[in-house]
Amino acid sequence: MSSVELQLPALGYGAANVGNLFRELSDDEAWAVLEAAWESGVRYYDTAPHYGLGLSEKRLGAFLQTKPRDEFVVSTKAGRLLRPNPDFDDGLDTAHDFFVPDDLQRVWDFSDTGIRTSLEESRERMGLDRIDLVFLHDPERNDLDLALAEAFPALEAVRAEGGVQSIGIGSMASDALARSVREADLDIIMIAGRYTLLEQPAAVDVLPACHERGTGVVAASVFNSGLLAKAEPTRDSRYEYGGVPDEIWARLQRIVAVCRAHDVPLPAAAIQFPLREAATRSVVLGSSRPEQVRQNAELASLAIPDEFWAELVADGLIPA
């Protein structure tokens, strides 16, 4: 691990939306979102080449170039290179939910050269002198064995050379996260949607591995596809890539009832829940609207009574 632990602010901004996730933003609209995050005190920003085929990195980098470099932390991802799409026909990257031209394609590359090239190209897109933290992005979607044999050792070498301060994995697959923590020398991992107020599968295997190895956690997708983003969820909300299963909806209704009883906004509880876990360093939230960014920052600092958490524990809705 890195000899000096990277200090992450408790609240971060996940920059997929400024890569035109789900809807197109103009450059000015994207800038306004990032400005709202900065003005709200956010000093940790996470991006990836995957987000908008490089657009997120470009927009985030352009914004951060206007800020003092020692006042923020930035992370990106590696594992997929962006290369020209030979089949480009004026289409959009909507197969990946990004509203950008698909003139580039993602190419998996876990080799030492591929990892180093990915980081260098990310630095160039962002126009920043350094990246603080890099996550291997969803390696299980390609080949986790290959990642453990090649990609993680490459990242460890880059860290040893001072190319980045900290390394990790970003994934929504608990088994891949737990195995990577145990078999690679990682500083911080990003758990996407697997340790939330609504469900905590990462508590079974990932978090124990993190405690054993001294690995930090960044919690992402804490609103469970938006289910927890409103005080009163609706049955037609999206869950993962489809509708809300009956057992998930029933569990959510029990949580909402406890929120009502203690006058705690559901989104505030969703943001603050992962930070109760000792391994969690930061919660990263994404948004495409400035007003939502500001509201999230307010909810992150809202006082929540101990009795609220105690009732959720007593009801078996969150771990003790």
d(CA 213, CA 256): 35
CA-wise closest residue to 312 among 269, 283, 277: 269
189 Cα distance to chain centroid? 9
State which amino acid sits at residue 177. L
| CA 318 – CA 309 distance, rounded (Å) | 8
Give the Cα separation of 275 and 289 in Å (integer). 24
Whether 51 is a known active-site residue: answer yes
Q: Which of 13, 44, 45, 51 is catalytic?
A: 51
- List Cβ neighbours of 25 (8 Å cut-off, separation of 6 or more): 17, 18, 33, 288
CB proximity list for 200: less than 8 A, separation 6 or greater = 194, 318, 319
Task: Return the active site residues.
Answer: 51
